[in-house]
Structure 1
Amino acid sequence: MLDQPAGTAAAPPPAHLLPGAIDQYLSTRVPVCLAEERASDIRARLVGKDHEVAEDVAVCDRLEPPHRLVGLIPVSRLLAADGERRAADLLDADPPVVVEGLDREQAAWKAVQHGESSLAVVATDGAFRGLVRSPTLLGVLLREHDEDFARLGGYLASTRSARLAVEEPVARRLWHRLPWLALGLAGAAMSAWLVGLFEGRLVADVRLAFFIPGVVYLADAVGTQTEALVVRGLSVGTPVRTALRLETITGPALGLLLGLVSLPAIWAVMGDVRLAATVSIALVAACSVATLVAAGLPILLARTGRDPAFGSGPLATVLQDLLSLVIYFAVAVLVLGEVHP
């Protein structure tokens, strides 16, 4: 085992680290040993040595860099082991290992899921670069936890941005919010126009108007839940495809459940199975579409560099309301038939 000076466990880190990459927390002065070394020899060389990482010993295929990681030995396990036992018998052959450049939060969560006290970092070619200590990982998770709350409030880049958004003067608040609310006002006008297109259908059966608020509200509610989950997933690095796949199943399932509950209730109260079927089918379709809109908008806005705190909520509401109305009246025409003057 070598008491390696700083920088000898691997080559120096790249000068252009990605923002938030785990590389910036890397410790390179770590204890290293070979798999065939005895526990007593490793312990003897640990005494009196100053390492940046003292929680784990890195077992590598060679002592001099560049070397590849074979496993990690927790120091607590090393101290309790019989002196004749080999490092190969004590090591964890499947420790948490990440490639340099990975986002710091994703890297920290990987260490937590493995239950290890250190996180190993390797280069893209597999060469061992060093370890990230457990107190450092804890600090990363605490900072990311703080930032996640800011993101959940609007997917902002940091808590500093969140505080600025809260403390900014009235003029800037108006500047950030009015364009999106103006878009909402335009959407409200278009909603009124859509309702006017189906005036004949509403006059023929005014009961259809009773359920417009319910269909629109429930679709909005399902969409809002989806939007919150997608924003949370983005903030912790969950793959976008996973979120989209799960929500495209969850939205229709929620709509189907709401429709199944509504069908007998409306039928019993109104005494019209066709009206009940219209509302139920519209709920299934509107909730399904609202889920797609709510899942796609935060991702789109984030990728285009816009702040979903001000944009995704109003924009999603406008689109969901318009689509819900179109779906509701389209289903009404299909189920109840067109009205001819």
Structure 2
Amino acid sequence: MPDTLSVTHAYTREAAAAHMLTSVPTARPGTPVEDVIADLRGQAFRSADTVFVVDADGHLEGIVRINDLFAATAERIGEIMEPEHEAVRADDDQEEIAALAIRLGMIAVPVVDAEGRLIGAVPPEALFRILRDEHMEDLQRLAGIGTHAEGPGAALDAPILDRVRRRLPWLVFGLVASSLVTLVMVGFEHALDANVSVAFFVPALVYIAGAIGTQAVSVSVRALATGAVPIRRLLRDELAIGLAIGLALGVLAAGGVLAVFGDGPLALAVALAVLGGGAVSAVVGFGLPWAFDRLGSDPALGSGPVCTVIQDAASLAIYFLAVSLLVL
């Protein structure tokens, strides 16, 4: 049964080694099941949810979940283990640990060295903490807030100036990039001059585009965080969802415009803007985090602010083009 393993290297706060425990139960493949159960009694392991099966040199060969161990009718532990089980390295990022645990339904995630020797395991309570921290960090990044070196929890207690410093950069970017939206408005100034009613629907169109885009960003970031993403299928699905939502909202908006203003062409222009804006927002909201990920950046980093600018500009451009063709 296991000895306490020592890890002497320094690792970052989000590395697997920072979360793992070294006092975990191990067994050889040829050990009788009854002997393993007997050896567990009286042992004070830091984590005993899983028995890790190793060879004579300590290389991980498989795992046995504790419920499978006590329900086993086999004679040897190797007969009931899950063989060639996946593991993480000591310097792997905590997000990889969480993704692996979710994908394989793992209770505790084994940690191995470069030669595949078991050096510890990340226990269930650490997995819950990792999932929560990653979720909080994604929320902060989606909002354009820089992460704190000590984790998302520490950000709440950080000094005021530090919190301002972490929030300001992407907002400055948004302020500068909003000039793109301004240019769209200026380019269609004639439409606003010709019919003041056209301006009434700009806030609603901007809101709808932003809301649809935010939903798509959230779906994309979570999908990327849980493992391999079939990007073409999901992108196609998001486009279909964006069109469906845009169509539904467009019909509702057109009905309201027609009822209040009695202007059929303007109602049609608003409907087309909502439909087109919904499709663009869904594709941009889903595709931008994926592009960030392919470029090696955090998919959540700045996706919210960047998507907002693109979605607003695209929605207004579609709207004013429709107004120019149908209303004026």
TM-score (norm 2): 0.70
Establish whether residue 34 from structure 1 lines up as the match of residue 21 from structure 2: no
Matched, 1:97 2:86: yes
Q: Distance in 1 between matches of 2:299 and 2:238?
A: 22
Corresponding position of 2:161:
168
- Asked if the contact 1:118/1:133 (under 8 Å) is kept, the reply is yes
Tell me the residue number matched to 1:259: 250
Q: Which amino acid aligns with 2:77?
A: A
Provide Cα deviations, 1:215-250, integer angstroms capped at 9, x if missing partner.
Answer: 23322332233345555666x556576596254443
Residue identity opposite 1:186 in structure 2: S
Root-mean-square deviation (CA, aligned residues, Å) is 4.5
Q: Deviations over 1:115-164 (max 9, x none)?
A: 55432345678x45254153xx3134325514532441335333277348
In structure 2, list runs of 5 or more residues that go unmatched: none
Name which of 113, 128, 139 aligns with 1:152: 139
Correspondence for 2:189 among 192, 196, 204: 196
Shift of 1:64: 0.9
* Residues 1:290 and 2:290 are matched in the alignment: no
Q: 1:277 to 1:115 in 2, by over 3 A?
A: same
- 1:119 lines up with 2:109 in the alignment: yes
Q: 1:240 to 1:160 in 2, by over 3 A?
A: farther
Contact 1:55–1:133 at 8 Å: present in 2 too?
Answer: no
In the aligned structure 2, how far is the partner of 1:176 from the partner of 1:287? 28
Q: Between 220-229 and 172-181, report the one with greater CA deviation.
A: 172-181
Change (3 A) 1:32 1:271: same
The whole-number CA distance in structure 2 between the counterparts of 1:124 and 1:183 is 47
**Alpha-carbon distance in 2 for matches of 1:114, 1:308:** 24
Is the contact between residue 121 and residue 131 of structure 1 (CA under 8 Å) also seen in structure 2?
yes
Superposition deviation, residue 286 in structure 1:
1.3
SS of alignment partner, residue 154 of structure 1:
helix
Distance 1:238 1:56, change over 3 A: closer
Whole-Å separation in 1 of the counterparts to 2:110 and 2:160: 41
The match for 1:220 is: 210
Structure 1 pair 65/53, CA: closer, same or farther in 2 (3 Å)? farther
The amino acid across from 2:108 in the alignment is S
- Residue 69 of structure 1, CA deviation: 1.5
Structure 1 position 290, deviation (Å): 2.6
On the 8 A contact 1:298/1:312 being kept in 2, the answer is yes
What's the TM-score, normalizing by structure 1?
0.68
Give the secondary-structure state (helix, strand or coil) at the position aligned to 1:65.
coil
User: 1:314 and 1:48 mapped to 2: Cα distance?
Assistant: 55
Are the aligned partners of 1:28 and 1:131 in contact in 2 as well (CA < 8 Å)?
A: yes
Distance 1:97 1:23, change over 3 A: farther
Q: What's the counterpart of residue 15 of structure 2?
A: 21
Question: Alpha carbons of 1:48 and 1:193: their partners in 2 closer, same or farther (altered >3 Å)?
Answer: closer
1:57 paired with 2:51, answer yes
Amino acid at match of 1:212: V
Q: Hey, what does 1:211 align to over in structure 2?
A: 201
Shift of 1:327: 0.7
AA aligned to 1:276 is A
- The CA distance in 1 between the partners of 2:42 and 2:203, in whole Å, is 74
Amino acid at match of 2:183: M
User: SS of the counterpart of 2:87?
Assistant: strand
Structure 1: gaps spanning 5 or more residues: none
User: 1 CA distance for matches of 2:289 and 2:158?
Assistant: 18
2:241 is matched with 250
Contact 1:118/1:131 (8 A) holds in 2: no
CA shift for structure 1 position 168: 0.9
Note if contact 1:30-1:131 (Cα within 8 Å) is conserved in structure 2: no
Residue 278 of structure 1: how far off its partner (Å): 2.1
Report if aligned partners of 2:21, 2:121 keep a CA contact under 8 Å in 1.
yes
Alpha-carbon distance change, 218 to 27 in structure 1, aligned in 2, over 3 angstroms: same
> Quick check: 1:53–1:131 contact (8 Å CA) kept in 2?
no
Aligned residues: 317
- Offset at residue 328 of structure 1 (A): 0.9
